[in-house]
Amino acid sequence: MELFTHFDPENSSSLGMALVLSSATPLLLLDEQLVIRAASETFCRTFDLPVDAVVGTSLFALGKGEWDKPQLRTLLEATARGQAAIEAYEFELKRKGKPDRILVLADGRRISVKDGWNGSNQERAFLRTIHASACKRFNTVLSPDYNAAHHDHFHFDMGGRGGFCR
Write out the chain's pLDDT in tens, 166 residues.
333 444 444 544 466 777 777 777 788 888 889 999 888 888 888 888 888 889 999 999 998 888 998 888 888 888 888 777 777 778 788 888 888 877 777 665 667 888 889 988 888 888 888 888 788 878 888 999 999 998 888 888 877 776 788 8
| CATH number of the structural domain 9-106 | 3.30.450.20
Q: How far is C-alpha 6 from the geometric centre of its chain's CA atoms?
A: 14
Between CA 65 and CA 156 the distance in angstroms is 34
Contact 92, 75 (CB under 8 A): no
Q: pLDDT tens-digit profile of 65-106?
A: 889 988 888 888 888 887 777 777 787 888 888 888 777 776
**R_g of the chain computed on alpha carbons:** 17
All structural domains of the chain with their residue ranges: 9-106, 113-165
Between CA 164 and CA 139 the distance in angstroms is 6
**pTM score of the predicted model:** 0.59
